[in-house]
Amino acid sequence: MKMIKSPFQILYVNNIMEKSIVSIIKPALDIDIDNPCNSHDIVLNANDSFCSRVSTVSGKSEKAGQTGNGSMAKDIPLNERIIFALDVSTREKAKQYVKTLEPYTRFFKVGLQLFLAEGFEIIEWILKRDLKVFADLKLFDVPETVRLAVRALTDRGVTFATVHGNDAILKAAVEAAQGVQVLAVTVLTSLDEADIRDLGFNCSVQDLVLSRARRALEIGCSGVISSGLEAPILRKELGENFLVVVPGIRPVKNVDDQKRTVDVAKAFKNGADYIVVGRPIRDASDPVAVIKTMQAQIQSVLSSS
Ligand code: C5P
């Protein structure tokens, strides 16, 4: 049971399961609990109190600190800040990229294409080289299936796994995760305002990213996948104590499928902990040179902040 101790504390409702509580106080508040884009930020008077799973939040640093995998060491080495997306079709190609890039970057993402082709074998091969693996399978299914899938990823040495979905799906993932950090996909970086409208959401991308991130952290995810454009609002509203992993990195104005892009410097200035980079490295004539340039940019931002 949590009592509200000081006047006009800002509260946020953990997740959709608190609808029953919110419905009690809703008449006094201007919030729409059925709208998925609702920020769930509500203000109550000190005299109000109610029990159960409503979190009190008094300061930025606590906001995400109460959640999930708790406090998070952010002393991330420079050679792990760029997660290279191994978006290739065979283990031979993947191994070639790993061997070429491992002196410079030590974090590799295995996504749907490579995992479907090569399964756990390629993940194990990368891990045996003492490198880190992000299993980006964007799991999205009924909670029990996601629970079992996350369990299959557990205790294999994988650092991050991605899950997509509503509260029950994320909860199942977090409950099953042992030794793997669950990152919630907020809104894919290939989607813009018109795309989310097509999907039936009646709000801005930013509101949707924030709402999803807030709930993911309350549920216990270690962090979120977000574009660099929304990273500032996530840091402002949710604090520092969770991971923001940013794909959609493009050095210049973009022409491919990624729509919400930022460059390397902006991603870190805006609050990214890691960036995920695929094609700009994979398709470069000199991938090592691209990584080195990006790392110099990261270093410059981090040392000036
Ligand atoms: O080639 P590019 O740099 O666009 O690759 C980005 C990688 O990040 C891809 O592997 C893609 O699956 C992944 N990703 C993304 N947007 C997300 C989550 C993951 O682009 N929201």
Q: Taking the domains of the chain in order of start, what are their residue ranges?
A: 10-58, 78-304
What 3-state class would DSSP assign to 246? Answer: strand
- Which is catalytic among the residues 138, 253, 266, 292? 138
Q: Give the position, in ligand 1's atom list, of the atom nearest the Cα of 226.
A: 21
| Ligand 1: residue whose CA is nearest its atom 5 | 278
H-only helix segments in the chain: 19-25, 60-63, 78-81, 91-101, 112-118, 120-128, 143-153, 167-176, 193-198, 205-219, 231-238, 264-269, 279-282, 287-304
| Ligand 1: residue whose CA is nearest its atom 14 | 247
Q: Give the position, in ligand 1's atom list, of the atom nearest the Cα of 186.
A: 21
> DSSP secondary-structure letter at 17?
G
How many angstroms separate the CA atoms of 237 and 246, rounded? 17
Q: Give the position, in ligand 1's atom list, of the atom nearest the Cα of 256.
A: 4
Query: Quick one: CA dihedral 237, 214, 180, 103, positive or negative?
Result: negative
Tokens of 157: 């040495």
Q: What is the pLDDT of residue 49?
A: 24
pTM of the model as a whole: 0.79
Tokens of 59: 């300061």
CA–centroid distance, 136 to ligand 1, in Å, is 9
Question: pLDDT tens digits, the chain, 305 residues: what are they?
Answer: 333 322 222 223 333 333 333 333 333 333 333 444 433 322 222 222 222 222 222 233 333 433 334 345 578 999 999 999 999 999 999 999 999 999 999 999 999 999 999 999 999 999 999 999 999 999 999 999 999 999 999 989 999 999 999 999 999 999 999 999 999 999 999 999 999 999 999 999 999 999 999 999 999 999 999 999 999 999 999 999 999 999 999 976 667 788 888 999 999 999 999 999 999 999 999 999 999 999 999 999 999 97
Q: Give the position, in ligand 1's atom list, of the atom nearest the Cα of 111.
A: 10
Q: Output the CATH code of domain 78-304.
A: 3.20.20.70
CA–centroid distance, 276 to ligand 1, in Å, is 7
For 152-169, letters b (16+ CB in 10 Å) and e give ebeeebbbbbbbbbebbb
Ligand 1 pocket mutation, candidates 113, 136, 221, 227, criterion most atoms within 8 A of CB:
136
Helices (H) and strands (E) in the chain, counts: 14, 11
* Beta bridge mates, 223: 183, 243
CA–centroid distance, 126 to ligand 1, in Å, is 19
CA–centroid distance, 84 to ligand 1, in Å, is 10
Q: Classify the phi-psi angles of 52: left when phi > 0, otherwise alpha if psi is within -120 to 50, otherwise beta.
A: left
Q: What is the pLDDT of residue 253?
A: 64
Residues 6+ apart with CB under 8 A from 214: 12, 39, 40, 237, 238
Q: Give the position, in ligand 1's atom list, of the atom nearest the Cα of 250.
A: 3
| Ligand 1: residue whose CA is nearest its atom 19 | 247
How many angstroms separate the CA atoms of 222 and 71, rounded? 9
Tokens of 141: 């299914």
- To the query of whether residue 132 is one of the catalytic residues in this protein, the response is no
Tokens of 129: 């080289």
Residues 6+ apart with CB under 8 A from 75: none
How many angstroms separate the CA atoms of 253 and 89, rounded? 27
Q: Which amino acids bring their CB within 6 angstroms of ligand 1?
A: 85, 87, 111, 136, 185, 188-189, 225, 247-249, 258, 276-280
Q: What is the pLDDT of residue 62?
A: 36
Tokens of 188: 């894919």
CA–centroid distance, 280 to ligand 1, in Å, is 11
Tokens of 298: 């990261």
